[in-house]
Amino acid sequence: MHKRFSNSILSAKQFNKNNLLEILDVSEKIERTLKKQKEIPLLKEYILATLFFEPSTRTRLSFEAAMHRLGGKVITSVGMQFSSLAKGETLFDTLKMVEAYADICAIRHPVEGASVLAAENISIPVINAGDGAGEHPTQALLDLYTINKHKSLIEKKLKIAFIGDIRYGRTIHSLIHLLKHFECELTFISPSEISLPEKYKNELNSHSISFLENENLNKAKGADVLYVTRIQEERFTDRKIYEKFKDAYIIDKDFVFKSCPKAIVMHPLPRLNEVSTNLDDTPNAVYFDQAKNGLYTRMALILKLLNINIE
């Protein structure tokens, strides 16, 4: 592992089981504390820079709220445009600038590897807030936290069904890197055109995680967790196949109540219609709680990277 990875969050691959348990534990402490008080003022003199080379209001605000809830300050560069790493020297120079102004930074960039480039070249901790087709490790951590909060990862072997675009769904790939450290059974439900890439299958096999692939939503029956992502029409060469699955994969109250009434339904958001709004008021729907959990896990990560302990 690169020397700099130790104080940056660049990939979901960088964690071992102990790291994860520690992050879950600190996140839980934070959630509990924020029920009693609005702020945990451990970072009063620290500055977070959020560098978003592509827009992602949801993720950016989550990081900024996390820093504020820790008493810290934020500088932000929304709307900087960089077409590619072909302008790499400018990205490098921009990052050097940030090093001078902030104590920690979160980077969102359309090009895979941008945050690694950052971590290799600047002296402050870097958090990958999504880089192109690459990783989105903080999303994976908040997903893991959500699963563990509602369905313990330790007490039983969870059945987790992923539904939708398994091939391009970056958040699913990052989450696989974390789930492989726990006992669980995974089911990947998608049209074969957008099924799980080989390398993730290999990784699951090498960790002895049993998994199943199928096109039929009924295979989600009895699941503890439904993790839904959007299917995009443009992924299909044959429009008919898209039409066939588009409606087959709508998760609604009826389906959940019949097939897996105790399941939690997750979605990385934004959703379109793949999760019906008729689920919103049910206890099964945890996708809004999931967003909230992003606050706690990001607070935990920021503290960890700055070597600050919550009592």
Residue 61 interacts with a copy of itself (CB under 8 A)? yes
Segment 223 to 242, residues that bind a copy of itself, using CB under 8 A: none
The binder of a copy of itself chosen from 23, 30, 49, 302 (CB under 8 A): 49
Segment 137 to 156, residues that bind a copy of itself, using CB under 8 A: none
CB of 13 to a copy of itself, least distance (A): 28
Residue 310 interacts with a copy of itself (CB under 8 A)? no
Residue 281 interacts with a copy of itself (CB under 8 A)? no
Contact between 256 and 263 (Cβ < 8 Å): yes
- Binding track, positions 71-110, relative to a copy of itself; x by CB under 8 A: --xxx-xxxx--------xx-xxx-xxxxxxxx-------
Taking the least distance from each CB to a copy of itself, the nearer of 64 and 135 is: 64
The binder of a copy of itself chosen from 9, 295, 302, 303 (CB under 8 A): 295
Three-state secondary structure along the chain? Answer: CCHHHHHCECCHHHCCHHHHHHHHHHHHHHHHHHHHCCCCCCCCCCEEEEEECCCCHHHHHHHHHHHHHCCCEEEEEECCCCCCHHHHHHHHHHHHHHHHHCCEEEEEECCCCHHHHHHHHCCCCEEEEEECCCCCHHHHHHHHHHHHHHCCCCCCCEEEEEECCCCCCHHHHHHHHHHCCCCEEEEEECCHHHCCCHHHHHHHHHCCCEEEEECCHHHHCCCCEEEECCCCHHHCCCHHHHHHHHHHCCECHHHHHHHCCCCEEECCCCCCCCECHHHCCCCCECHHHHHHHHHHHHHHHHHHHCCCCCC
Residue 123 interacts with a copy of itself (CB under 8 A)? no
CB of 113 to a copy of itself, least distance (A): 18
Taking the least distance from each CB to a copy of itself, the nearer of 70 and 144 is: 70
Cα–Cα distance between 161 and 196 in angstroms, integer? 13
Cα–Cα distance between 250 and 104 in angstroms, integer? 40
Taking the least distance from each CB to a copy of itself, the nearer of 56 and 214 is: 56
Residue of 140, 91, 126, 139 whose CA lies nearest to 2? 126
Stretch that binds a copy of itself, among 59-67, 107-115, 212-220, 230-238 (CB under 8 A): 59-67
Cα–Cα distance between 209 and 184 in angstroms, integer? 7
The binder of a copy of itself chosen from 17, 32, 58, 157 (CB under 8 A): 58
Residue 38 interacts with a copy of itself (CB under 8 A)? yes
Residue 288 interacts with a copy of itself (CB under 8 A)? yes
Residue 33 interacts with a copy of itself (CB under 8 A)? no
Stretch that binds a copy of itself, among 44-52, 128-136, 228-236, 249-257 (CB under 8 A): 44-52
Residue 2 interacts with a copy of itself (CB under 8 A)? no
CB of 235 to a copy of itself, least distance (A): 21
Q: Which residues bind a copy of itself (CB under 8 A)?
A: 37-39, 41, 44-47, 49, 55, 57-58, 61-62, 64-65, 68-69, 73-75, 77-80, 89-90, 92-94, 96-103, 269-273, 277, 288, 291-292, 294-295
